[in-house]
Structure 1
């Protein structure tokens, strides 16, 4: 039976503002466009920059990613609590104000991670210190301070689950547009061929590309701030009940839907970020041309733009969870098939990759609507939304998946014999290392996606019917409040 603590009074109401519409969807898209001008840049090029340009051992880069994301367990959740409890004198700006405050700092912190002069440091320790300090500044502080409010914002833009599916689709469209720019255009800019005929990454070109991405991120955040309206606000007439931090975290962490989504998100991000991080190594070492990453990324991303229309329709007809279960299972099978076929043609492998990533992107276009369903479930259970805290716990799980992926990339590259010293000199890797890269780029994401499907099927309770029931419960509570 559903626990309905605090169900006697609606804790939230809707503001009397313009109806939800295209401006909100476009603005929310700009938010993730801005986020991913720094996030996708990091997931795609950070390790490559520090192994192949700066000369850091891949295991050291991977360890940094793991430790930093564990640290984010504290910064993300603390940021979520701050967002929920920081006094808000102006209704409708609970989340938007953080975008205004943090947009420029996060952009500067991102650019600092790719300064090419770091490769000229004589001390290996100094290189590691710069890498560590700038990464923590960007990821653990600035990015958390803008991403937690941005992600939480979706639950207050509209109460309609179909609107939220559209927001999730538009958010993912923003991410894909940034991904297209970074994964399709940047490889054509940052990869060059040296005098020995070996494809390498240019440190100077990487630095200036990062600066441009940071500038574009700030403009995108401005679009988010100006276009989106926060409609669901606290009910000023409702009795004020101050819930202790321990009790609040306890109710959040007892949310079955959140815990199941955390499991799925952790595995998904591990698989998704792992293949994204391995892509550059695959084309540089296995297919011998880093520039091939550009058409691969283009074909993996551009077809998915149709999902801005298709994914909300699929969610409405079949349910978000049901769609997610199906597409992640299919994506996993395709990656495993690519490995067992031992594809030697870059064009053929890119075809497999494009289809698998389309399946993954169907789920990615809906995943942000999953978290708004979880926030509704939290309010139905406890009478409190705890938007920021719920999203922060979920965000940390995603970051942990990214961290494990980053650590596994570094550790597994070392395991298959990849030599960063040889790479920084522009020399080819050993045959065993090259074959190992192919194994890693296909098997780990394939197994991971199948595990995501199974976790959603067996653990996640918010299938289509329950989501509709929760929306009806909350609507009836709000209708009882005199506006």
Structure 2
């Protein structure tokens, strides 16, 4: 078996590159597709998002447990599922953006429910094995941080394409085009399949089967006891859920902020470039920063910077669009610190679970983390739709009222500032695995594994 190296990093990058062609496309534009093309009420869309994500949260857990109870094949425990399930996932993603003209409001709402929930369920079947795979590709904490960074770069490369080119292609004269949405979905589907195949072919799972065979039979009661004792996992779930609510809420509101408040959907392209560019600027320095200061320390400071930047945007409501984006760039530099290391946090809490229980349950623990993200998406979907409706947005109007525009600005600035401040507090003051304790955990776990194999 070859050693961990650049081939694995590129393979892991391609996995999230493929994931985010649809994940970010949906996060950024599905609400406006439903409100402006299907003409669904924003509140109804928010309800759909909330219900679908709650369903997906439990689908994640079920799929994670399913994988952990299966015997690994000759190609590994997780990689084969990426290969098998990526094709139905991509097909369901394209189907979400099919628009049949002249149908009733009830038909569009029912079609949105069925297609969106189907896509979300199939997304779990690919994303759970993909995310879990990082913990069995290497046991080295530094190499895992590298995987987290490469995964985030993959996500941002997809974001660069979606958020920079998306507004230019998807909107005609500042209005959403149904045909263009479908065309983009088909193109993204082809690119996503290519990325999933690259991920499958370039990566290797290196955790030996001997270590797995020495484990006692997994009991759900033991797993649950370990989870509730795992303070790093519990606080990380709180931080992740809140962070996901923030990211999804920003993505949903930004479309209306630039389309209606600034009256320039082209600004979304610039924001997309800034978001991805911030990650690419920070990425070369993140490993050095983590080695020197630690994941917890770097991530918390980055989130604090982002919270302050959004607070400044709120208290300066009369900024020009470019000045707004300039301050937003500072927020995105702060965001990037957490985005680049967040997946390494996951592998740390998986290790801590093994340290507490003696059980290596990568799929289960990752699926619990993914469940928290899905709940965050559900909350953001529900709040996002309700908030847009609450400020008076009406898709039938050519121009929104002054009160509605003011409300949209508040949603896009003050709410993210508050949520990011909460994320900072949780990571900085409540999450216990600082640099020193993470290094000690790796040492203690290595000693435990050695004793097991003797």
TM-score interval, normalised by the smaller of the two chains: over 0.9
1:32 and 2:16 matched:
yes
Q: 2:286 aligns with which of 271, 293, 311?
A: 311
Aligned to 1:134: 115
In the superposition, relative to structure 1, how do residues 161 and 435 fare at CA in structure 2: closer, same or farther (>3 Å)?
same
Kindly indicate whether the alpha-carbon contact (under 8 Å) linking 1:61 and 1:410 is maintained by their aligned counterparts in 2: yes
Deviation at 1:202, TM superposition (A): 1.0
SS of aligned partner of 2:208: strand
Aligned to 1:97: 80
SS of aligned partner of 1:429: coil
Aligned to 1:250: 225
Aligned to 1:470: 441
Deviation at 1:253, TM superposition (A): 3.6
**Which residues of structure 1 form unaligned runs of 5+?**
1-16, 194-198
Kindly indicate whether the alpha-carbon contact (under 8 Å) linking 2:242 and 2:376 is maintained by their aligned counterparts in 1: yes
Aligned to 2:63: 79
The two structures have a TM-score, normalised by structure 2, of 0.97
Q: 1:434 aligns with which of 393, 401, 405?
A: 405
Residues 387-406 of structure 1 correspond to what in structure 2 (within 5 A)? 387-406=362-381
In the superposition, relative to structure 1, how do residues 293 and 89 fare at CA in structure 2: closer, same or farther (>3 Å)?
closer
Q: Distance in 2 between matches of 1:308 and 1:237?
A: 34
In the superposition, relative to structure 1, how do residues 169 and 236 fare at CA in structure 2: closer, same or farther (>3 Å)?
closer
The two structures have a TM-score, normalised by structure 1, of 0.91
Aligned to 1:14: none
SS of aligned partner of 2:103: coil
Aligned to 2:132: 152
**Which residues of structure 2 form unaligned runs of 5+?**
none
1:6-32 CA-to-partner distances (Å, cap 9, x unmatched) read xxxxxxxxxxx2111000100000000
Kindly indicate whether the alpha-carbon contact (under 8 Å) linking 2:68 and 2:362 is maintained by their aligned counterparts in 1: yes
Kindly indicate whether the alpha-carbon contact (under 8 Å) linking 1:111 and 1:207 is maintained by their aligned counterparts in 2: yes
Q: Distance in 2 between matches of 1:404 and 1:157?
A: 33
1:173 and 2:157 matched:
no
Deviation at 1:479, TM superposition (A): 4.2
Q: Distance in 2 between matches of 1:456 and 1:160?
A: 23
Kindly indicate whether the alpha-carbon contact (under 8 Å) linking 1:323 and 1:363 is maintained by their aligned counterparts in 2: yes
Instruction: Provide runs of 4+ in structure 1 moved above 6 Å.
Output: none
1:386 and 2:361 matched:
yes
Kindly indicate whether the alpha-carbon contact (under 8 Å) linking 2:42 and 2:388 is maintained by their aligned counterparts in 1: yes
Aligned to 2:238: 263
Kindly indicate whether the alpha-carbon contact (under 8 Å) linking 1:416 and 1:437 is maintained by their aligned counterparts in 2: yes
Deviation at 1:238, TM superposition (A): 5.0
Bigger mean CA offset, 301-310 vs 61-70? 301-310
SS of aligned partner of 2:158: helix
Aligned to 1:70: 54
Deviation at 1:481, TM superposition (A): 6.4
1:450 and 2:425 matched:
no
1:183 and 2:184 matched:
no
Kindly indicate whether the alpha-carbon contact (under 8 Å) linking 2:37 and 2:176 is maintained by their aligned counterparts in 1: yes
SS of aligned partner of 1:366: helix
Q: Distance in 2 between matches of 1:89 and 1:369?
A: 25
C-alpha RMSD of the superposition: 1.5
Aligned to 2:97: 114
In the superposition, relative to structure 1, how do residues 62 and 472 fare at CA in structure 2: closer, same or farther (>3 Å)?
same
Kindly indicate whether the alpha-carbon contact (under 8 Å) linking 1:200 and 1:290 is maintained by their aligned counterparts in 2: no
Kindly indicate whether the alpha-carbon contact (under 8 Å) linking 1:329 and 1:450 is maintained by their aligned counterparts in 2: yes
1:229-280 CA-to-partner distances (Å, cap 9, x unmatched) read 1101332685452122233233224311111001000110111111111111
Aligned to 1:192: 172
Aligned to 2:252: 277
1:417-444 CA-to-partner distances (Å, cap 9, x unmatched) read 001333xxxx111111111111100011
Q: 1:333 aligns with which of 304, 308, 311?
A: 308
Q: Distance in 2 between matches of 1:240 and 1:33?
A: 34
Kindly indicate whether the alpha-carbon contact (under 8 Å) linking 1:166 and 1:308 is maintained by their aligned counterparts in 2: no
